[in-house]
Structure 1
Amino acid sequence: MTRTTKPPGDIALPLIGFGTWQLRRETAYDSVRAALEVGYRHVDTATLYQNESEVGRAVRDSGVGREQVYITTKLRPQDARHARRALESSLRLLDTDYVDLWLIHWPTGRDELVSTWQELLSAKDAGLARTVGVSNYSPALIDLLTEATGQQPAVNQIPWSPGQHDPALLDEHRRRGVVVEGYSGLKNTDLRHPVLTEIAERHAVTPAQVVLRWHLEHDIVILPRSSRRERIAANFDLEHFSLTTEDVTAIDALARTS
């Protein structure tokens, strides 16, 4: 059973998601199919990635029921003035009536911040997106949206890795009840670092698995991406070991030394 987290008032969000950035055409299709076969039930895409049709086809062909797969897509800021039309295009490409999570990919221009967020809330009210949130937003921008509309983003998808670990920023999100999704956790990490290799050796796992498990210990959603089936499987296989408190503390400290 995939572990989940739950934004206040929203649906359960699987902590392990499959990222699809830079996966295109048949590679995207094959990789998502492999991820679903391995057991992933959360797939992250975006209009910008230009692979929504392949993601949707992979979900459809997988034999896994649509209601069992948590699908995220994202709105490009340049599409803010016709956000609903952009979402409807994403839904056609994904071949689904709704997405489970729709995010604003990164902040729009100042004048469009609130109006774009209102478009996402409207899409949620219409049943086109079950949950709505943002990506690459600061706590201050999240507060601006919340104060203007009375409804805060459920999720903020931001870069996160041991070297970028920021307990204060994590706490800012926790106090607001905003779920943190971390991206590029492996890409932005030196997997040969002695701290990670020592922990990996002790647990008989890979350094990448250590980093991904570390995210889960902090209840941060992970979105590992790969086109290699064995790596897709390894990135999902995180429940057969756990990190000690000392392990987590040692990895946290990499932010101060990197």
Structure 2
Amino acid sequence: MELNNKTVLLTGASGGIGSALAHRLALAGTRLLLQGRDRHRLDRLLSGLPHIERHRVLVADLLSPDDRRALVQQVQQLGGLDVLINNAGTSSFAWLSDQTPAAVSEQLMLNLTVPVLLTRELLPLLRRPGLIMNMGSAFGAIGYPGYSVYCAGKAGLRGFSEALGRELAGSGLKVLYFAPRATRTEFNSPATVELNAALGNHTDSPEWVAGQALIALQRRQKRRWLGWPECLLVRLNALFPGLLDHALARQHATIARFAGHSHDKEMPS
């Protein structure tokens, strides 16, 4: 898809991947609507973009129904959009039994429920031809210890993307699922960084991930997984999940240690 002069709503714009993607999109000639919760961070991002006058900051907490409604109204007042990128997300590296109900709920809301609801409300405002890109994860297809809730949200987002894409066939709208692997951003806790180092897991820069996301948008790729061996592991897990069961079982104690989990802990009441 030719992105020059297209209007793009990018959620989670001030995060690591979000800000890198904002720069790539601005250089490609888009008009950006930059969503985030922190106006200071959004303004700082905006000030560093080329053609600053073309872009707008939209402050909204996506967990708030009122803020989401206000965001949709702002998009409508600005004349609609051509591309929606559901990039906002969150994760917690912890065993399920060590997480509070509030933490579980927030992850599922922001990683799955919010993009579903926001997409539904913005569908009438998307011009044809148009694109919806849902920012997934390799963990959307590989269940990984310590990320059970995050995996649930991203797996749901993958299913949503596939189903919605089929619903919208012939409408002029195309749905893309873009799945990075571990990326070097503040999204990762220190424990996650230490775990990746201990296990030798590869991590990518947000700038590289953003470049690949831009290519996926331009080529309108329905499904894009990043990284090796992650691309292979996604396929193996789909066909032979027992192989990954055994492989991850060998890492189980190490993952649990970095997640701060003790098997002596009791389940919450």
Q: Which structure: larger Rg? A: 2
TM-score tier, shorter chain, comes to: 0.3 to 0.5
Query: What's the TM-score once normalised by structure 2's chain length?
Result: 0.38
